[in-house]
Amino acid sequence: MFTSNWWEAVKLFQNLRHNLKAVYARTYVRVRSQFREPEWVLTESVIPLLIVFAAATLYRVSGSEQLAGFAVLGGAMMAFWDNVLWLMASQFYWEKESGNLDLYIIAPVSKMSILLGMSLGSIINTSIRALLIFLLAAFVLRVPVNIADPLAVFLVFTLTLTALYGLGMLMSSLYMLYGRGAYQLNDILSEPIYLLSGLYFPTIGRYSPFPAIVQFLVSLIPLTFGIDGLRRTIILGQGVEQIMLHIYVLLALTVALIPLAWRVLIFMENLGRREGRLSLRWM
Amino acid sequence: MGLAAETVNLGRVFRNRGSVVQALENVNLRIETGQIYGLLGPNGAGKTTLVKILTTLLLPTTGEAYVYGYNVAKEASKIRPLINLVSGADTPGYGLITVRENLWFYSMLYGLDKETARERINRLIEEVGLKDVENELLRNLSTGYRQRMNLARGLVNEPSVLFLDEPTIGLDAVSARKIRKLIKDWVKGDSGRTVILTSHYMAEVEEMCARVAVLNKGRVVAEGTPAELRSLVAGKTVAVMEVWLPTDADRVLDMLEAAYKTHDPATNIYRIRVVVNNWDETANIVEHITSRGGKVLSLVKAMPSFEDVYVKLVGGGEVVSEFEA
Ligand SMILES: Nc1ncnc2c1ncn2[C@@H]1O[C@H](COP(=O)(O)OP(=O)(O)O)[C@@H](O)[C@H]1O
Ligand SMILES: [Mg+2]
């Protein structure tokens, strides 16, 4: 009994190490690729920056100094949202086109590790862009930063990313299953989601112009509570106690989305093996 | 010698929007270890489908398939560490990282430790001839080099069974020859290694494979060593003719089960090969062609080749071969 348990434990550990290697390798590929073409970081930061400048200036002219600061944070987070919506979601599509997807499937490693690696790589790449947007905008617009509790900032930021990329991982499989339809939906929904999630102005809490029911619905978008939490901790100087709700919501989204992404990924792999195609519908 | 792969009454059906394609039907194969095994057949014969089933990418709809005794449907996780796949139609890898980095990336999917990965990749870069380009970005590589890198990628886990799906497709003659030699050398390197290779080039299969299964329309129409298959036309003769046919009369050739390689659409002249049991039959063939308004421009007797076997097995039509007869 003892030896068999011990053996199980060793195997589990080896398996975990093997999967962590795959996560690391996939992360490396993504980060390395970006640094081979660093000019992308700049070009892809231009549009969010312009939007931030426009929005912040507008708020400032209308006399709201804090809202200007909110817009800057929104702009930085827009980089993550764009990345999830466009890059993460269509990733498997490109992997399939090149033949990588088949190679991932036949590799003796969890497909979830590949997806995690893609996400981690994306997070690292996009963080650089988001930081650039934030620093530039905050500097040029002289946004008053007021961080009272760095731990709170760290918690909110990390949980926002885990929830956001949980959604990204889910979308990458849904994208394969629904093909072009998903792409069009993405296109149609991206602007409303910018607005509803609070990239431009707060959509939950006391500054929100929306009724409670809309506020509840928009809070299901991981970005919404994330941005609000970051505003509170970075601009309004709030601490962990004041953002407990944010932490709970983001944690709940993370815990729901990542296992769901895992399930859908397994579903996709099985569908491919059974039907010989990855899409549920014929376009 | 054990079995690297086995199929038992294997079948696969694809259903899309009402259309039903029987891609494989009642396939029974026993592929022993330590050899290059060929799956030969024209486009659409079911070669890729069979490879996908054996590599756990696709489930059978009927029957069973095994790799090293493991059932592809139920024990995929036992099979996956033992195999790898190189498909000539695909160009996997990431363009913005180097050849070496790409190989390292794929080695990590197999959980290799740092030292083993480094040594193995060094060796593969040498053996496969990627030394000049190891630090090039993948996107800057020519097709020939890309395919070599793809082959090295397929060897990175030292698979027991390497599946090659049309590995030389689209390559120039020199690159194709290199790839064939690499594959042959790899199999010779260790008695436990097996290659299962698909191709629609008969000369490639004849040159490389110890045994061959010929697939046509999802069925195995012949199986054996290339010599055994050649004996199917032993004692027969081949009539090589140049014929002129009226436009839209190529059905005449289908009826003859004739193979043609060259067809000049400007002049409507075909160069065809027909296998005959004895030379007297050629009179009937000439009669058949002239009665449908065609003309026989020349007629020469030839020895049957491996290609003629193939044509006999899969029927007439255009024949693709990189080796001109
Ligand atoms: N995923 C699929 N969905 C529908 N039909 C398919 C699919 N894959 C292959 N087929 C059909 O199955 C047959 C065999 O295809 P394939 O195995 O690719 O042949 P080969 O590799 O010998 O050219 C063809 O008629 C092809 O159109
Ligand atoms: Mg094929």
Task: Choose the residue to mutate in A102, A271, A277, A279 for probing ligand 1, maximizing ligand atoms within 8 Å of C-beta.
Answer: A277
- From the list A26, A28, A276, the residue facing B58 with the nearest CB is A276
**B81-97 mean pLDDT:** 95
Q: Which CATH architecture has domain B231-323?
A: 2-Layer Sandwich (3.30)
The DSSP line for A39-92 is: HHHHHHHHHHHHHHHHHHHHHHHTT-HHHHHHHHHHHHHHHHHHIIIIIIHHHH
CA distance A215 to A202: 10
The three-state secondary structure class of B154 is helix
8 A C-beta contact, residue A129 and residue A75 = no
Tell me if A32 and B81 make a contact (CB, 8 A cut-off).
no
Please report which ligand is nearest the Cα atom of B46. Answer: 1
8 A C-beta contact, residue A177 and residue A280 = yes
Least confident of A8-22, A86-100, B214-228: A86-100
Query: pLDDT-based confidence at B272, cuts 50/70/90?
Result: confident
CA distance B143 to B172: 9
CA distance A118 to A173: 13
Residue in A closest to B159 by C-alpha: A107
Cβ neighbourhood burial of A121 (10 Å; 0-12, 13-18, 19+): buried
- Residue-wise pLDDT for A27-78, tens only, equals 999 999 998 888 877 787 888 788 888 888 887 887 777 778 888 888 888 8
CA distance B213 to A56: 70
Say which CATH class B3-224 falls into: alpha beta
Q: Which atom of ligand 1 is nearest to the CA of B41?
A: 22
**B7-12 mean pLDDT:** 98
Q: What is the pLDDT of residue B324?
A: 34
- Give the dihedral of Cα atoms B106, B112, B114, B119; nearest 10 deg: -80
Do domains B3-224 and B231-323 share one topology? The answer is no
Query: pLDDT-based confidence at A188, cuts 50/70/90?
Result: confident
- From the list A17, A33, A106, the residue facing B57 with the nearest CB is A106
Query: pLDDT-based confidence at B124, cuts 50/70/90?
Result: very high
Cβ-count burial A200-230 (b if 16+ within 10 Å, e if not): bbbbbeeebeeeeeebeebbebbbbbbbbbb
- Residue-wise pLDDT for A128-149, tens only, equals 999 998 898 888 888 888 999 9
- From the list A17, A29, A273, the residue facing B97 with the nearest CB is A29
Alpha carbon of B48 to ligand 2 centroid (Å): 4
Which residues from B are below 8 Å from A107, CB to CB? 80, 106, 109-110
Q: Ligand 1 atom 17: the closest Cα is on which residue?
A: B46
Q: What is the pLDDT of residue A2?
A: 61
Q: Say whether pLDDT at A1 is over 50.
A: yes
Q: Say whether pLDDT at A282 is over 60.
A: no
8 A C-beta contact, residue B4 and residue B41 = no
Q: Say whether pLDDT at B151 is over 70.
A: yes
CA distance B94 to B102: 7
Domains of chain B by residue range: 3-224, 231-323
Q: What is the pLDDT of residue A57?
A: 83
Tell me if B109 and A104 make a contact (CB, 8 A cut-off).
yes
Q: What is the pLDDT of residue B78?
A: 97
Q: Say whether pLDDT at A123 is over 70.
A: yes
Of B302, B320, B300, nearest to B310 by C-alpha is: B320
Please indicate if any CB of chain B lies within 8 Å of the CB of A103.
Answer: yes
Which residues from A are below 8 Å from B59, CB to CB? 273-274
| Of A274 and A186, more confident | A274
DSSP B138: G
DSSP B98: B
Please indicate if any CB of chain B lies within 8 Å of the CB of A281.
Answer: no
Q: What is the pLDDT of residue B316?
A: 60
How much is the mean pLDDT over chain A?
88
ipTM: 0.89
Which residues from A are below 8 Å from B91, CB to CB? 98-99
Q: What is the pLDDT of residue B322?
A: 40
Tell me if A276 and B14 make a contact (CB, 8 A cut-off).
yes
Cβ-count burial A248-257 (b if 16+ within 10 Å, e if not): ebbeebbeeb
Q: What is the pLDDT of residue B258?
A: 67
Query: pLDDT-based confidence at B323, cuts 50/70/90?
Result: very low
